[in-house]
Structure 1
Amino acid sequence: MAVGHTKSTPITNLDATPAVRIQAGKGGAGRLKHISANVTAPAAANGDIDTTIQFVRIPWTSIVKRIHFSGASQGSAGKVDIGVYHATDGSNASAISSLLAANAVDQDFFVAALDLGGAASQITVNPGAGFGYDGVATGVVATAPAWARSDANLPLWEAIGLSAAPGGNADIVATVTEALQTGAAAMYLAVEYIE
């Protein structure tokens, strides 16, 4: 066996002659932005499958670094996906006027089927992995989101698989995939990103 040495792309670029500038958020330092929102989940009667909960809006050109979600118990049942929709603000040609699950760009890009039944739930998701606990878990929950490690330094539109930047904004949305048993409980979502 031999001892080896591996350099990341940013280090390789910095060691090049001449040095290659690294863009902010793409391996280079940048100013991290934080946006968050608290929402009261819809009451059980309005929290059926495909109900959408619109949390925050970010530019499609954002390089997302981390998502954090926490929610109070929704009773004995209730699951959500956390994903991306075109914004409802008319900021681009693909903008929509209402959030229907069928219109999602990627409904579970960040988290799939997070269980909100039982106790409180919480998850932090980075590209390629998410860790936290859900309402029925007795220990740590790990998730492998569609948001891959290789997407860590890509703008949101590219990470999600669009062929071109749509311009304007995207909404980060929770979509109910199992009806909320009680609903009307607090939810919080935060996104950290670089523009």
Structure 2
Amino acid sequence: MSTHPPFRKVFDGVATRDQMFQLFNRHKDNPGIDPISGTPYAGEYFEIAAEQYHFMLALLPPLFQRTGMFGISEYKAGYVTSVFFAIRIRGRERWFHGFCDLSDKRCPDAMRVAIIAHETGAVDSMTRQEKLEAIWSATHAGFKGIAGEANPDACPPEHHSKRSILVNAGGQGTILKLLEELNDEEIGKLLPVPQVAG
């Protein structure tokens, strides 16, 4: 049975080349996370442009390659590596990058199926959790943290180890709020790029 986390989209829209490289390392500044393990990345995916797909294909010899999919020979960490997908969705060719844990050999195919299922779903294709992941990814390390890590007495014990983020609370100024407690309006303001129709 697979132990990788659920597949999740971590960026809304099509990532530029610079955004793609930032997303490759999106966990490096996150407090309380060990990016060396590769675990924080496993199961994450985002959309890229055709030029990024072909650039990465030419960059390193692929670990594996088959129709519409290839894996990078340089692992992120452990068994986690980058897999790139070319997928026809609703009659249009689209390209994606995902981090797959190859300790489960079915992971690339399962991710491909998950991407297709997700991208052919609702008009607003990102779930609430995916929006929160995108916000967390795009927020500078100085504006986010782990509740209770620096000052355990500053928040209730049940909130310790939860992700928190600075938000503009209007008349209250800037406040620290648990990521999971952001409301729809705050999520709309904090998403790194405008949402696009599916």
> If the TM-score is normalised by the length of the shorter chain, which range does it land in?
under 0.3
Which structure carries more strand by proportion? 1
Greater C-alpha Rg: 1
Higher RCO (C-alpha under 8 Å, 6+ residues apart)? 1
TM-score (norm 2): 0.24
